Amino acid sequence: MPVAAISDRLPIKAGCVVADYRVSFFNTFPNPYGKQFKCLQRVITVSSATDAEEALENAKREFERLEHVHNWKYHAQFLEVESRDIVRK
């Protein structure tokens, strides 16, 4: 599973809680019995976003750059965003 990270960190005071975002890109494929399953294409971690929407847009652009496509939907059908809070020291 390819993993990329966007880590241009914003200036953050020590002890602040910020969120890192993990954006996963998926495709769906049928198995031999015709049942659809989701297949992970790539995961991109974004640490430089101020909110989930910005993280999503940054991840889409990074996915397009890494996959050499003009639109992320050429290589993935859907995506999921997860956030996790981290205390910066």
- Which of 53, 38, 44 lies closest to 3 in space, CA to CA? 44
Instruction: Give 13-58 pLDDT, tens digit per residue.
Output: 555 556 789 999 999 999 999 999 999 999 999 987 888 899 999 9
Contact indicator for 44, 23 with CB cutoff of 8 Å: yes
- Please, which pLDDT band fits residue 84 given cuts at 50, 70 and 90? confident
Q: Where are the domains of the chain?
A: 3-87
Contact indicator for 83, 21 with CB cutoff of 8 Å: yes
Residues near 57 by Cβ (< 8 Å), separated by ≥ 6? none
